Structures are given as structure tokens and as C-alpha cells.
A and B are shown apart, each in its own frame.
Chain A
Amino acid sequence: MFRRVVLGLIFLIVVAVGVSVAIAWRSEIEPRDTAEPLEFDPALVEKGAALAAVGNCIACHTVPGQKAFAGGLALPTPFGTIYSTNITPDPETGIGLWTEEAFQRAMREGVDREGNHLYPAFPYDHYTRVTEEDNRALYAFLMTREPVRYTAPENELPFPISFRPILAGWKILFLDVGAFEPDPDRSEEWNRGAYLAEGLGHCGSCHTARNRFGALSGHWNGGEAEGWAAFAINEASPAPIPWDRESLHAYLRNGWHPHHGVSRGPMAEVTANLGTLPEADVRAIATYVASVMGEPTAERRSRADQILQDLEGDAAEQAASTDVQAVATSSDSLGASIYRSACATCHESGRPQPFGGLNLFMSAAVNAPNPQNLINLTLYGLPAADGVRSAVMPGFGAVMSDEELLALFNYIRDRFTDQPAWTDLPERLRATRSGEYHVRILPSDGIERGPSNIGASDDGDNTQN
């Protein structure tokens, strides 16, 4: 009897493994014949360059200061560290042996040329929406880059996650393969924006929450990226002044807006890339994002109008006054004193964006559900970009103790928003300051993780900036 049960179990396991293997198995696509030169229409390559900017491929596939697209950037995930791969056309270490068919399959299904399942850190859950035609242009662009001989370090993932075939199961659960389908009831511009934002733009990779399997959960309801909160960009957007099509367009194109401040952290790369796109595409993305955010409620609108009205009043008052400095008084709490003496000089100066500090009544970081971005900005500031004019903010990590920072953050939260106090402040501050929670510190403008970017700190050590 016992023997039969064991045999039965073994049989079941064999069948289960067999079925899994059958599902998980993807064939190798024959390598390209490298003796045959690749030839592409320059117009196709140019189109691919613009699409690569939408996809921001360079951000993950380049280590700051190293060769573009050669991979090797460490991407910390809750499961372990994944290293981006070399997507230059080097035949041995890059994608030089990939045919267009192999590239199309990777984008659509997340499988490499040899048939290995790829980890969804490569956002094929979004890229599957990209059209065959656009993938062709991307392929043309990448295959005409400078080949770089470089192999990224091995991923640091625990078993069984390190066993790629289990990704087949992940894909059954979480991957919806298929190109974008336009909504015939919407305008052409809206559909173009949706195609770009939901596909190559992969906004949701950062701006959507993830479940415990690392799969997207919700739609643009707020996530995180490289140690920064990626705010909700649906109706739950924490921006005190609601976004609209015009402000989104200006922000995505220029990297700042008078009511929203300067894009920073990983978003700075996104806006730097989008600034190179055709105007119409940025407008289309803005149109679509604005429609996902929807019209703000009457209450939110009126609060925003009140903020703007108050700030305009202040500006007029300041213009009439010779002394624009906020003055500390002895009755101030510690947080208020620090704010007035260290922060208000810039943040209440009335100097225009992007070089003045944003008034914190308009700050999404202050109004957000978690304090991470406020912590990051206060500790590390916005470093100067390399060789171009950029917004900067000094970091205060060296001169403020945890006690002082907590007092400051609580004061700011209390004064500038009617949201409840943050409960996770001390723990987040501790984890950030110690480097246990890794924050990528990036300059505020003009960045690409291209060959000359030396402004970015990439050593995993948050204590230096």
C-alpha cells in the first residue's frame, strides 16, 4: 500500500514537472548570421531612437559613467538584486546574435533568444503592448549602437526564484500578452498617449503598486522606484494643485512646472528623455495621463484655488516689502525654527521655479501618503547636474540630527497639509540614513545614464552625497 502511494506520488510529480516544462519551455531562436551585414533605413533608426527615449531603455541598461546600453546596473528588488543586461550588438556579450524575431519575442513575451524566461524587472508586462512596427525600429536603433564587450554580474536571487522556468507560472498569472488595442470612442491623441504610456513608456512600472509576487496591482495607484516614492497618478494623485493636461505637458517636456516643482530622482531621467520627443507625443501622453487622473473633486479644486490665491497674496506682499526673509521667533517649536531658518529662505522666497524652492503648500512630497521623498530630498538635496544649468538643493543630512529632522518633518506635515501625521517617519528615516533602504541620488536635470554622467552617486552608500 505504502509502495503504491509513493509510486503514485512520484508519477504525479513526474506529470506535473512534465506539464510545467512543456508550459515553461520556449525554443531557441537561431542566431543571426553575423557574416551578413545589418542594414537599416536611417529613418527607421531615428524613429527607434525616439522610441528608446520613451522607453528610457538607457536608464536601466547603463551604469552611470559607463558605456551606454552595456548593462550591469544593479536593480534592487524585494527578491534580490537583478543586473541589467548588455543590449548593445556585441555578438558574444550583447544581443548581436539576435534576429529581429528574437527581439520581437523578448519584447512581447519576455523570453531571450536562447529561450530563457526573463525576469519582469524588464517591463515586458508593458512592452507587450508595443507594435511589431515599433519593435522593428527599436531593433534597428539598438543594433546600430556601438557594440560593447561586457557581461553583467550574475543576478543575486535565492532559489527557487533563481530558477527561470518558474517565471512561466508567473506569466500565466500576471502577464497579459498582446498589442495595445485602441479605444475607438477616444480621440487619436488620447489613443496615442495611452499606447505610449501603457506600452514603451511603462509609467506603471514605477507608479503602480506591486503585490508580493512583484506583479503590478492596481493602475497607477502609487509605487516606488530606486528608493523614491512614485506618486499615484490616478485620481489619488497627492499633488495639492491638481494636474491637468497643460501642466503635465509642460512638466514632462521641461522637467518642472510652477505648481509642481522640479522632477527629481528617477523621474528626472524620464523627463530628460521625454524632452527629446516630438512635441505631439508628449502632448498625447499628457492628454492620456490627465484623463486617467480625471477631473478633481470640487473640494480638491477649491482647496487648490485657495492655496494659489494665498500664495499670490504673499508674493504681492513680499514684493512690497524689503525684507522677504521669514523671521524666527522665540515661541517657535524646534521644527518651526529649523524650517524658518534653513528652509524658508528658498521655499518662501517667491523666486520662480525651477531655481527657487517650491512653496511647500504645493508640494506633493509633503502631501503624500509616505514621507520618503521628503526624507530623501532633505538628507541629500538635489545635486548639481554635470555641466549644464540645473535646479539644485543643498542636502542637510550632515548638519541635522535625526531628532531635528523628525521635528522638522512633523512641523512641515502639520503646517502645509491637512493630511494626518506620518506614522512611519522614524523608521524610514533610520533605514534611509543607514543605507539599509537604498536611495539612488540623482541630479535634477539633463541626465541620462550615458557615458559622461558622473553626477550620479551609484555606490550604494547613502551617507555620501
Chain B
Amino acid sequence: MAITLRINGEAHEVDADPATPLLYVLRDDLQLNGAKYGCGLGQCGACTVMVDGEAVFSCVTPIMLLEDSEIVTLEGLGTIDNPGPVQAAFIEKQAAQCGYCIPGMIVRAQALLQKNPAPSDDEIRSALSPNLCRCGTHTRILAAVKRASELMQSNGAAAGRGEPA
């Protein structure tokens, strides 16, 4: 059964069971491999994407719920050559160790900064608490989100994206 999903500003016709979690469609059908499969239970945050500006776990979100929604994945935030401000900040602060959690962290940070362009340390910690990092780069992740906040405010990109991909 075909469902149309709007992802990173583009409409995708997807032939999948409506009960399929969005994560599987992203990775298996659309080759959008930024979101990662971690626990499959909505408990680790590696699969985080944005739906209508809110960070959600794509592994527990069936596509049947998303037909009228605007989905943004890691790929929608910028490219390797032209990273968005959150991506640039994570690179600048070298926030990744193994890197598996980082796509989810970046997308959740993006959702936070779109709503709250200048969050306090406590607000960043609180917003990122659903996402786990097992390497322990938390302090760098926090620094990166702070940096992203500065970048987004200084270049006026607070509305969300870097240059379109």
C-alpha cells in the first residue's frame, strides 16, 4: 500500500505496510541512513527525527501516523559540504566518539533550538535526556549545542536549516 511522506521538503511515495516504523522506511526504502537503529523501543534516541518540529523516535512511529506531517531527518539539516549550524557545531566541538548516537543528538538539539534559540545548560540537559550516549561524550555534546545556539543566532538561521541540500 502506497503512502506519501514529506521528508526534508520532498514528497516520497512509499510502498510499505502502514504499520511499518518510519525508521525502517527511511533506512531500507529511501536510503536516508542518518537515523540509526538503536533499541527499537523508543528508549535510546538514536533514531530521532523531527515531525512537525518535534523530536520523535522514528523506531516506534508507524508511517500511518505521518501522512500529513513534515518530517526532517539528519540529511535535511545540511550536507557534508555545507553542514547546517548544529552539524557544524558538532564537528567543531568534535562531539562524536563512536558517533552512533550523534544523528539523534543533532536532530533533538535542532528541535530544541528551533523552539528555544538560547537554552540554558539545564534546558539543554533536560531536552537531550531522552537520548543516550554510551561513549560518554556528553560534555562535548553539551558544548556543541551551546555553540550551535551561537551559530544559529549569529547567522540568522534560527528557522532551522543550513543551506538546502
Contacts and interface: CB of A to CB of B under 8 A. Distances in A.
A328 B52 CA distance: 26
Given A337-B19, A399-B51, A404 B130 contact: no
A15 interface: no
Contacts of A397: 54
Given A384-B129, A399-B66, A455-B126, A345 B115 contact: no
A328 B130 contact: no
A24 to B, nearest CB: 44
Contact of B19 (A340, A400, A455): A340
Nearest to A394: B42
Contacts of A455: 126, 129
A398 B62 contact: no
Interface in A150-173: none
Contacts of B126: 386, 454-455
Interface string A279-307: 00000000000000000000000000000
A384 B43 CA distance: 9
Interface string A368-400: 000000000000000110100000111011111
A345 B41 contact: yes
B129 A386 contact: yes
Interface in A317-331: 327-328
Contacts of A386: 125-126, 129
A404 B65 CA distance: 8
Nearest to B131: A384
B25 interface: no
B162 interface: no
B57 interface: yes
Contact of A394 (B60, B62, B69): B60
A contact residues, range = 20 to 34
Interface residues of B, number: 29
Given A341-B18, A455-B126, A455-B129, A464 B115 contact: yes
Contact of B60 (A327, A337, A345): A345
B130 A392 contact: yes
B14 to A, nearest CB: 15
B151 interface: no
Contacts of A225: none
A94 B62 CA distance: 52
B56 interface: yes
Interface in A435-456: 454-455
A454 B122 contact: yes
B130 A341 contact: no
A23 interface: no
B3 interface: no
Contacts of A337: 18-19, 62, 64
A464 B62 CA distance: 21
B156 to A, nearest CB: 24
A342 interface: yes
Interface of A: 65, 327-328, 337-338, 340-342, 345-346, 383-384, 386, 392-394, 396-401, 404, 454-455, 464
Given A386-B125, A398-B51, A399-B61, 15 more contacts: A338-B64, A338-B65, A341-B18, A341-B62, A342-B65, A345-B40, A384-B130, A392-B43, A394-B57, A394-B130, A398-B54, A401-B68, A454-B122, A455-B126, A464-B115
